[in-house]
Amino acid sequence: MSKHDRRRVNGPPSYVPISEASTSTAPSSASLASTSQQRPDNRSYAELRPIFLQTNLVPSASGSSYVEIGGLKLACSVFGPRQVKGRQYSGKAELNVEVKFAPFSSRRRRQPGKTTESAHLSNLLHQALLPSLRLDLLPKASLDIHIMVLQTDGLEESCIAAACIAATTALASAGIEMYGLVVGSVALIPSSPEKLAKDKQVLLDPSSSDLGLVTGMKTATRVLLCGMPALASVTCLNVSAGSSQLSSKAGQDRVGQGSVPIGAGIEVDTLDEALETINASLVDIHKVVAQALADDFQRRTALTSTPTQ
C-alpha cells in the first residue's frame, strides 16, 4: 500500500538545502550582555522596536487599526457610539473593552474565548483609555473596543502597550472626541542588573529574545506606563515587582514617608530611571500614531475629492 497521501500536496522525497546551516557557535547570553550594550535584535537597551501601524483594517467597524511591534501583532476594532435599547438613561457613554487572544497567538495553543488573563488585560486597557475619552458628549450610548492579539512577543504588558496604540488610533479614526492620544510602553528591570551593563539597569520594550538574555529576567520587575504625551499626563501605571528589594537611601526615606510600601520589590532609583526612559519613548510613539492618522486623513480626503463619473 502506497504511503503517498493523495489528499495533500506532498513535497519531493529528497531536497537540497537552500543555504548551509551556520556552524559558528553563538556567544552565550551572559557574555553577550557583558561585552556589548546590544540586545539579540541589535537594539540598545533604551531603543524601541520598529512600529508598523495601519488604519481601516475592518470596513464594517466605525474605526479599526492594525499594529505590529516586532513579532507582536494585534488588530483593534471600534464599534459605536450606538444607542443601547432598554438601558437606563446615563449622561455618559458606556465604554466596553474586550481583549482576546487568537488560539495560534503563542507557541502553546490557547483555548478560544475569554480567560482570566484576557479579563485582567481588558481592565488595564479600560483604565488606560478611559481618561482620554469625552464620554460626556455621548449620553445613553455604548462604545465597544475589541482587541484581537494575533501573535505575542514578550510580556503580557507589551500587549497592553500595543493595544493602547491600536485603540487610540482606531478611536481617532472613528471620529470619537478625545482629550489626547494614549500610547504605552513597557520596561523591564532584571533582578540582577549587574549582569547587563555597568550603567544600564533598564530594558525598554523587551521582546521574547530579551527574556532569556540574562538570568533572573523572567523574575524581573515589569513597568507599564500609558499616558498622553501631548498633555504630559499619565493614565495608567502598573508595576509588577520582582525579587529585588528596596535598598537605596532615597528608597528608605520614601518608605518612611509612606509613599512607597515596604517590600515593593524594586529600588526607587531604578524605578525612576525606568519611568524616565518610558516617558521619553512615549513621545516617539506619539509621533508614529500622529503620522498614521495624518496619512489616514490624506487618504480619506483624496477619496472624497475624487470626482464621480
Domains and CATH numbers, the chain: 50-305 (3.30.230.70)
pLDDT digits (tens, 9 = 90+) for 160-212: 999 999 999 999 999 999 999 999 999 988 776 555 554 567 889 988 888 77
Band the pLDDT of 26: cuts 50, 70, 90: very low
Q: What letter does residue 215 receive in the DSSP assignment?
A: T
For residues 116 and 162, the answer to whether their CB atoms sit within 8 Å is no
Question: By C-alpha distance, which of 284, 304, 46, 72 is closest to 187?
Answer: 46
Question: What's the confidence (pLDDT) of residue 67?
Answer: 96
Q: Which residue has the cell 537552500?
A: 18
Question: What's the confidence (pLDDT) of residue 254?
Answer: 45
Q: Look over the chain and give the mean of its residue pLDDT values, rounded to a whole number.
A: 79
Given phi > 0 = left and psi -120 to 50 = alpha, else beta, which region is 293? alpha
For residues 210 and 217, the answer to whether their CB atoms sit within 8 Å is yes
Any long-range contacts for 26-32 (C-beta under 8 Å, 24+ apart)?
Answer: 29/212, 29/213, 29/214, 30/195, 30/214, 30/215, 32/213
More confident residue, 80 or 294: 294
Q: Whole-angstrom Cα distance, residue 243 to residue 263?
A: 9
Q: Would the CA dihedral through 113, 119, 123, 125 be positive or negative?
A: negative
pTM to 2 decimals?
A: 0.78
Band the pLDDT of 19: cuts 50, 70, 90: low
Angle 213-221-212 from CA coordinates, rounded to 5°: 15
More confident residue, 290 or 35: 290
